[in-house]
Amino acid sequence: DAKTTQPNSMESNEEEPVHLPCNHSTISGTDYIHWYRQLPSQGPEYVIHGLTSNVNNRMASLAIAEDRKSSTLILHRATLRDAAVYYCILSGHYGGSQGNLIFGKGTKLSVKP
């Protein structure tokens, strides 16, 4: 399985931007880069995904390196409600597990008021 590497934890101040990095040096050409987050006591929540180009939605932006070996999830203005574990996951065709999401440990984001 293609794997990702994320920092265990990060801190941010409220209303400041947050850049959450992810390394995925073994990414294959058909793998999409997904980000999910999990708030305390809740199920994982889809944030954003992309293939090659940078992506924006109402929740966040995803910046993908030109060689696709790394990406960064950008929260433009962190709020206290953004405190969660953020998972960077690769998903695509491989073997019999097409599109499956394999979760790692993620990055625990703390937001200070």
Partner 1 sequence: GAGVSQSPRYKVTKRGQDVALRCDPISGHVSLYWYRQALGQGPEFLTYFNYEAQQDKSGLPNDRFSAERPEGSISTLTIQRTEQRDSAMYRCASSLEVSTGNYGYTFGSGTRLTVV
Binding site for partner 1 (CB under 8 A): 30-32, 34, 36, 42-46, 49, 51, 85, 87, 91-93, 96-106
Shortest Å, Cβ 73 to partner 1: 14
Shortest Å, Cβ 1 to partner 1: 10
Shortest Å, Cβ 99 to partner 1: 2
Residue 89, judged by CB atoms within 10 A of its CB (0-12, 13-18, 19+), counts as buried
Whole-angstrom distance, CA of residue 113 vs CA of residue 82: 12
